[in-house]
Amino acid sequence: MHGGAAASPERGAATAAASQTCGKWHPGESQRPEIDDAPIFTPTEEEFRDAIGYIASIRPQAEKYGICRIIPPSSWRPPCPLKEKSFWKSTEFNTRVQQVDKLQNREPTKKQTQPRIQRKRKRRKRLRFGMTHRRPSSSADSEDKFGFQSGSDFTLEEFQKYADEFKQEYFGMKGSDEISLSEIKNHKKIWEPSVEEIEGEYWRIVVGSTDEVEVDYGADLDTATFGSGFAKLSSDGNNQDPYGVSCWNLNNLPRMPHSVISFESEDISGVVVPWLYVGMCFSSFCWHVEDHFLYSLNYMHFGEPKVWYGVPGGESVKLEESMRKNLPKLFEEQPDLLRELVTQLSPSVLKSEGVSVYRAVQKPGEFVLTLPRAYHSGFNSGFNCAEAVNVAPVDWLPHGQCAVELYREQHRKTSISHDKLLLMTAKEAVKQLWMNLFNCKSGEGKYRWLNTCGKDGVLTSAVKTRVKMEGASREVNGNLKSKKMDKDYDSTDRECFSCFYDLHMSAVSCQCSPNRFACLKHTSILCSCEMDRKIAFFRYSMEELNTLVAALEGDPTAVCLWGQDHLGLVCPSGNVQERKMDSGKSTELSCSAIDVNVVSGFGGTQDGCNDLQKAAGFQQENGIQNNCVDLNIEDLPSNSRIKEEYDKDGMFIDHGPLQNTDSPFRLTSEGVHHRL
């Protein structure tokens, strides 16, 4: 059955195609999967005020399922600009044609002759006006690969009519012109298939492949070009609309405070800039994970339900193995098949092979959250419109590191610079640690950054892991001459010529080809020149990176040094003070008004206030609050300073890691004290 329309300049032809179908619903052959539902979260008004915080709070429970639904408070009902008459009737979008019966069972592409369009990719690309679009990666350039044909252009009004006519004819429903006046007067409910019935028919088509069914899908529509279903912030800064500034507005979410993606300077389409999806019955999104294993948040603006399937991130490898086992010919011909979003496999098959699969039915006004490395897929039960964007709380960082290491092995291009986001996040956290150390005022939510620090904090662990990897790579390349990256280095996105690894933290070049770069892993194959002709470029020395780790762990010396040397912060007078203990056994220096719990790295809990009260009580009980003199940060011992040294040729001299034993501070439950 062909429900899709071939590309045509005539709108009437596209709509008429739906009424010429000859397919038929087979309810007796339903193949609806029997799987458990994903959890549903209903935040309170208070919880809903902080999107990033709420997403982070439900992660421990939601990640067991891979996906979940989030139903906003009843008071949150944002208007949809897409429904405005002028937009609804005149703004066009392009569709892709999906052969539903070929999503799982199809012949290898070598036996197919029709050219097909490829999936758009999220990818950094500097453009004149700062907008970034996806472009096909090197792995997707082959025209032999299975994809979706380009379909007709529609307005929302035209597509709704087309989608409704297709569904009515396929399921034998009455059209609007067939409903009698008496039925209208008596408010008689007109029969239509349930979501469960549509779901059973969908998988009958996909698994059975006995009927030919084509549908159109308006997918991956860049909201910067087409328009968003949410209100956008005005350029003049006069934003009075609460929905326009809402943290749940997907135009704002990626750049909200405490979002790692907020440190991405470019407007990456599909990551920072939301994409819009206009669906019809049976239009599908096939099994995939988000680029860089990011979270994604999808909001349905209007229309009929969208059915989702999700697999926990911890079982992603099991899903991949099951896909390869059940579709061997397709994977043999196209090993990277799962990257293309063109292949389904029944949840029933996955479940039978021990893969945990969960289901969610998204309705208008609801969000669906997918978690890091969680495979997900699904289909639409009728005409609808949804919008999606990526999300990255700090707890995403370990998953992101895993993704870029996997991409390196696969020689796959990246969409974002993970090292850049990691370091920028760490800098912001150190800034908050510094402000907390000196009891400075800072923005709301500072404790969220602080709670990711400490020796066991998720941010500290992520940075420590990356620094350890970097140190090992530099040790292998220890004979290379090295230089500090200059300001011009960031004028161009740089990636390894071999594996496409992002080169934000370090890179290697050779005199024979100064514009060609390698990661530290592929130095030897950069060129045939001797190693003494190659130069390593480092953003930070290992001493600096280890100081950053120490700062995140809570070492006050490291916090002060990193803040002063890399964040332009000046240690205020009167906050680092000398005090004498009544015991007379020792004289110590103490930072007054320090949140001991957070700075000393007690695990990043939220009990800092209690510890501050205890510390204050200790000082009062021992009568030491009045025995203080000012101490400037410049008076710290010279062996604790970060020294960047260069030889006569400007080459960077790396002295290695800053040893924790060099710290002039020691940490106790009573305070932060200087060793004299």
Range with lowest mean pLDDT among 316-325, 326-335, 425-434, 466-475: 326-335
One domain, residues 84 and 152: yes
Beta strand ranges found along 46-202 (DSSP E) = 67-70, 92-99, 131-132, 149-155
Residue 6 lies in a domain: no
Distance between CA atoms of residues 350 and 481, nearest Å = 52
Map residue 313 onto helix, strand or coil. Answer: helix
Q: How far apart are CA 564 and CA 610, in angstroms?
A: 29
Predicted local distance difference test score (pLDDT) of residue 627: 30
Query: What's the pLDDT at 337?
Result: 87
548 within some domain:
yes
- Which of 586, 600, 471 is closest to 538 using CA atoms? 471
Which of the two residues, 447 and 471, has the higher pLDDT score?
A: 471
Task: Output phi, psi for 453, to 5 deg.
Answer: -100, -160
- Please give the pLDDT value at position 96: 94
pLDDT of residue 236: 66
Q: Name the pLDDT band for 108 (thresholds 50, 70, 90).
A: low
Give residue 592's pLDDT.
Answer: 36
Report pLDDT for 52. Answer: 95
Rounded mean pLDDT, 229-255: 88
| Gap between the Cα atoms of 615 and 602, Å rounded | 14
DSSP letter assigned to residue 319: H
pLDDT for 240 equals: 77
CA distances from 458 to 35, 307, 461, 607 (A): 33, 33, 5, 17
Q: How far is CA 311 from CA 231, 306, 350, 398, 448, in A?
A: 32, 17, 10, 19, 29
pLDDT at residue 647, as a whole number: 52
Contact 151, 214 (CB under 8 A): no
Question: Of 206 and 669, which is predicted with more confidence?
Answer: 206
Which domain range does residue 606 map to?
417-674
pLDDT of the residue at 443? 56
Contact 206, 38 (CB under 8 A): no
In one-letter notation, the amino acid at residue 394 is V
**pLDDT at residue 219, rounded to an integer:** 94
Q: Which residue has the tokens 């139903």?
A: 71
Asked if residue 480 and residue 548 are part of one domain, the reply reads yes
* Greater pLDDT, 121 or 577: 121
CA distance 157 to 85: 9
Q: Does 347 lie in the same domain as 243? A: yes
When pLDDT is averaged across residues 149-163 and rounded to a whole number, the result is 94
Residue 343 forms part of a structural domain: yes
Distance, C-alpha 328 to centroid of its chain: 31
Does residue 59 lie within any of the structural domains? yes
Rounded Cα distance between 99 and 2, Å, is 9
Question: How distant, in Å, are the alpha carbons of 300, 394, 495 from that of 59?
Answer: 21, 12, 32
**Helix/strand/coil (H, E, C) string of 55-98?**
HHHHHHHHCCCCEEEECCCCCCCCCCHHHCHHHHHHCEEEEEEE
DSSP conformation class of 502: B
pLDDT for res 447: 66
Q: What percent of the chain has pLDDT over 90?
A: 58
Q: Do the beta carbons of residue 59 and residue 371 sit within 8 Å?
A: yes
Please state the domain count of the chain.
Answer: 2
**CA quadruple 397, 400, 404, 405: dihedral, nearest 10:** 70
CATH number at residue 345: 2.60.120.650
Q: Which two tokens stand for residue 411?
A: 């020689």
Asked if residue 281 lies in contact with residue 202, where contact means CB atoms within 8 angstroms, the answer is no
661 pairs with which residues across the strands?
Answer: none
Residue 398 located in a structural domain: no
End-to-end alpha carbon distance in the chain: 85
Rounded Cα–Cα distance for residues 424 and 427 (Å): 5
Distance CA 315, CA 373 (A): 9
Same domain, 451 and 386: no
In the numeric block, which tokens belong to residue 384? 């609808």
3-state secondary structure of 325: helix
pLDDT of amino acid 98: 94
Query: Does residue 399 sit within a domain?
Result: no
72 vs 212: which has the higher pLDDT: 72
Domain shared by 54 and 141, yes or no:
yes
343 in the same domain as 484:
no
Mean pLDDT of 406-418: 95
Mean pLDDT throughout 243-251?
95
What 3-state DSSP class applies to 368?
strand
Give the H/E segment covering residue 544.
helix 542-553
Residue 143 clears pLDDT 70, i.e. is over it = no
What pLDDT, in 10s, does the model give residues 6-28? 334 344 444 444 433 445 777 77
Based on the domain organization, do 375 and 475 belong to the same domain? no
- Write down the residue that tokens 């029933």 correspond to: 348
**163 plus 308 within the same structural domain:** yes
Asked if 292 and 423 sit in the same domain, the reply is no
- Among all chains, which residue has been given the structure tokens 């005149």? 90
- Mean predicted lDDT score pLDDT of the chain: 78
Q: 351 and 472 share a domain?
A: no
pLDDT at 191: 72
Q: Which of 286, 284, 363, 359 is nearest to 65 (CA)?
A: 359
pLDDT per residue over 543-556, tens digit each?
999 999 999 999 99
Phi and psi for 521 in degrees, rounded to 5? Answer: -75, -30
Q: Crossing angle, helix 156-171 and helix 11-18, to 10 degrees? A: 20
Lowest mean pLDDT among 9-23, 407-421, 505-519: 9-23
Asked if residue 218 and residue 121 are part of one domain, the reply reads yes
> 625-676, pLDDT tens digit by residue?
333 323 333 333 333 333 344 454 545 454 444 333 333 333 333 333 333 3
Share of the chain above pLDDT 70, in %: 71
Mind spelling out the 3-state secondary structure of 230-250?
CCCCCCCCCCCCCCCCCCCCC
pLDDT at 47: 97
> Are 267 and 130 within 8 A, CB to CB?
yes
pLDDT of the residue at 239: 72
In this predicted structure, the answer to whether residue 283 has a pLDDT above a threshold of 70 is yes
CA atoms of 490 and 536, how far apart (whole Å) = 15
Closest CA relative to residue 424, chosen from 490, 362, 374: 490
Q: Please tell me the least confidently modeled range out of 56-70, 430-444, 449-463, 577-591.
A: 577-591
Q: Does a structural domain hold residue 538?
A: yes
Look at residues 114, 118, 121 and name the one whose alpha carbon lies nearest to residue 142: 118
Which of 24, 26, 22, 61 is closest to 41 using CA atoms? 61
For 631-637, the CB contacts below 8 A with 24+ separation are 631/576, 631/577, 631/578, 631/589, 632/571, 632/573, 632/576, 633/560, 633/564, 633/571, 633/576, 636/557, 636/560, 636/664, 637/664
pLDDT of 177 reads: 54
- The answer to whether position 3 is within a domain reads no
The predicted pLDDT at position 150 comes to: 86
Half-sphere exposure of 407 (CA within 13 A, CB side): 26
Write b or e for each residue in 332-362: b if 16 or more Cβ atoms lie within 10 A of its Cβ, otherwise e: eebeebbbbbbbbbbbbbbbeeebbbbbbbb
Q: Are residues 388 and 432 in the same domain?
A: no
Give the dihedral of Cα atoms 289, 102, 303, 183; nearest 10 deg. Answer: -160
Residue 178 is predicted with a pLDDT of 53
